[in-house]
Structure 1
């Protein structure tokens, strides 16, 4: 355990030096390239893509989206271009799925044909998207289509209804997304895959997360439904990436706030397209709503060296959520949660089996490992301490809770087979408690 904490301390030092900036370059405005202002109902994908392409061809620089609303389908960022959304600027995703033609893209742990995001980048170095403007997915038509399908078939998968993400970056390095507002995504908000050296800072991510509609039957007036829940609205998906900093962000969504992802299935460890997620720093964030501060899964293999520190956690949000699939070998290790303030959070742990779309492919169940997990310097209130248990045969070891003072309705931690569970200075409802026995 000491060695794992020393490694995490070294990681923090390395992260503190990770500050990258935009090189001085010429500025341009999208209206210089034929994009029309004041026409928010008109989809201007062609003109917007021309602005990006010509700015890149001319040597790069900052390309500004000025105040106003500009509607677009899928756009591809190009080398040397910083896309800057000025104060009052709204880049609005098209509500017509035809403006997002199917392509090969990474989704749910696999590269497969699906719809692109509003903003896409592949194989670039020095990706820059900056605010303070807004990227808005105008997602209500996509949410409606999904809930309609869910009413028809409760077992429908997330991918049965095409819904564009807001941002998707693949195989890029030196990536910055700074001071941006992300709103109303049709699906996940910000997805990075096989990227290294990523900084996401000062980003506000919001998606409506009220109750889903309760309409059933073929004759219901779906066009008249007011949808106030965006399904699968993950805030930030870190997929097979290394050296990622997420700092000073505000996230209020109806799914995972930050999800660390890889792939799934009995042969997941052999998948060269899904390298480990490692060296992740999450700090100074405000998690106002979501299904987990930091979630490993729903598809994930190796996740290691993760620090979550100095964050606020709002009502109903679990802190450490680890999904343990009985059909996938997984290894989650060296996870540190430090200096958190909880305001009605769901739980400290949501660690338990996850069987969504479970498919063992006729093979014997693989085993997963969770080890070297530390939660320390945590105060506030929450509903319960939660669950810490795996599938039969999984290994959970070296879990430490230290300097924790909480108010809760349920002070017991539901524990499965855990080796090395330690409590040091854990005070619940005014009383210091000891670690529970493993099953």
Structure 2
């Protein structure tokens, strides 16, 4: 008869040496409420498409009442993933969660994009809907593997009969993250890299903090199309702090609805209460863009930031002739700039895409805009002009400038109460 002590010891050793995914569920956690994707079969070889294994990890965490899905060091390829309420995502140092470039892993469906809901466009790599308290954290990377997708975009666009009307969503592409209808969201420490489309798309979110994140495309790629850093789509109370932007589209864009009936769009509440501070902007179209789809934007403060490379404009207000727009209480404070290109402010008509749909031209308002404490070098001062007969622009304050410009004239028309106070351009005081 076998010795019972040795029999129990053999059973214990066999349990310790069994594969992790064969153990009871409580042994799958790396720590309290932490679930590592490799314990569920994910492989860090940069080739295997791990969508099923990672989604299984998410579902398991949700079934345990919530927790954190952990991506360890290594390159994990995946298609679209869908987070659940109370499930967070953590990318450890050296972790790379990379988009598959085979878009069959991002099955098209109904999604929010460009100021409306498209019925047949791709989801993001990371998708979260109704995930209050969501946290995406860590020193790892979300990698869009965008270069072949960008190359295909330009090939098709350049071959189109009218390239200027080739739609941004004309080819399948995946965003890196789409977070929608969620409160108390934190994005911290993560690098967003080489996204096929927008990097971080927030839709109808409230109380969001994006801290110490990086948004970048390769320096050697001239124009990664639609590589926006952060798109604030119908969001309220968002803090962007300590972030780094080196993209080839808008660094931060406020978005909403578009078209002559945009004010009636119940799916697109105003963008309100945006704070951006202590960020670096190395490359991008604009530090902050209002548009291309935006209707109501107010209470925005950009402060204590620096531009260290080429950014086309610090502030750009795109005035669509087909959309009623109300931009109010938008302020820039203490911005240092070291750029051989770009300009300080752009408020002017934007007509790349528009359709009045038979309606009369709508009326728009831009008021109470200030830029205070701008210093450094740029190419040009900028432009402040309305859509004639459609836009009322008033109460613009430019104060405490000390800048060097190649083109020092501010091009203005039909602006009420434009004030220049202590504005020094190329060593000379400038008046309104």
Q: TM-score, normalization: structure 2?
A: 0.90
Alignment partner of 1:159 is 2:169 = yes
Of 248-257 and 57-66, deviating more is 57-66
Matched with 1:380 is 376
Task: Look up the match of 2:183.
Answer: 173
Query: Are the aligned partners of 1:285 and 1:310 in contact in 2 as well (CA < 8 Å)?
Result: yes
- Matches of residues 344-355 of structure 1 in structure 2 within 5 Å? 344=339, 346-355=342-351
1:92 matched to which residue of 2? 98
Residue pair 1:406, 1:427 contacting (<8 A) in 2 also:
yes
2:374 aligns to what SS in structure 1? strand
Q: How far apart are the structure 2 equivalents of 1:228 and 1:381?
A: 23
CA distance in 2, matches of 1:408, 1:151: 34
1:330 to 282, 305, 325: 325
Equivalences for 1:40-119 in 2 at 5 Å? 40-113=46-119, 114-119=121-126
How far, CA to CA, are the matches of 1:379 and 1:160 in structure 2?
40
* Greater RCO, CA 8 A, separation 6+: 1
**1:364 positional shift:** 1.1
Per-residue deviation, 1:25: 5.1
- Which residue number corresponds to residue 411 of structure 2? 414
SS at match of 1:43: coil
Are 2:58 and 2:83, in contact at CA under 8 Å, matched by a contact in 1?
Answer: yes
TM alignment of 1:271-420, pairs within 5 A:
271-317=265-311, 318-344=313-339, 346-393=342-389, 394-420=391-417
The answer on 1:146 being equivalent to 2:153 is: yes
CA–CA separation in structure 2 for the residues paired with 1:423 and 1:378: 12
Q: Say which of 235, 238, 260 aligns to 2:232.
A: 238
**Residues matched between the structures, number:** 395
> How far apart in 2 are the matches of 1:99 and 1:138?
14
Task: For structure 1, list consecutive stretches of 5 or more residues without a partner in the other structure.
Answer: 1-23, 211-226
Residue 426 of structure 1, aligned match among 423, 426, 429: 423
Cα distance in 2 between the residues matched to 1:366 and 1:316:
34
Matching of residue 201 in structure 1 with residue 211 in structure 2: yes
Aligned partner of 1:124 in structure 2 is 131
* CA–CA distance in structure 1, aligned partners of residues 143 and 235 of structure 2: 25
Q: How far apart, in 2, do the equivalents of 1:69 and 1:121 lie?
A: 22
1:264 is matched with which residue? 258
CA contact (8 A) 2:85 2:130 kept: no
Cα separation, 2, equivalents of 1:66 and 1:229: 31
Cα distance change of structure 1 residues 320 and 190 upon mapping to structure 2, 3 Å threshold: same
CA drift of 1:152 comes to: 1.2
Contact 1:100–1:117 (8 Å) recurs in 2: yes
- SS of 2:382's partner is strand
Distance 1:93 1:305 in 2: 35
Which of the two has higher C-alpha Rg?
A: 2
- Kindly report the root-mean-square deviation, in angstroms, between the aligned alpha carbons of the 2 structures: 1.2
Tell me, yes or no, if the aligned pair for 1:266 and 1:363 is still in contact at 8 Å: yes
Paired residue for 1:18? none
Q: Is the 8 A contact 1:304 1:332 kept in 2?
A: yes
Question: Could you tell me whether the CA contact under 8 Å between 1:25 and 1:62 is conserved in 2?
Answer: no
In structure 1, distance between residues paired with 2:240 and 2:260: 31
Q: Is the 8 A contact 1:101 1:116 kept in 2?
A: yes
Structure 1 residues 378, 170: closer, same or farther in 2, change over 3 A? same
Contact residue 288 and residue 314 of structure 1 kept, 8 A: yes
d(CA) in 2 for partners of 1:66 and 1:258? 29
Distance 1:179 1:267 in 2: 39
- Say which SS state the counterpart of residue 141 (structure 1) adopts: helix
In 1: Cα distance, 2:208 partner to 2:274 partner: 10
Q: Distance in 2 between matches of 1:275 and 1:254?
A: 27
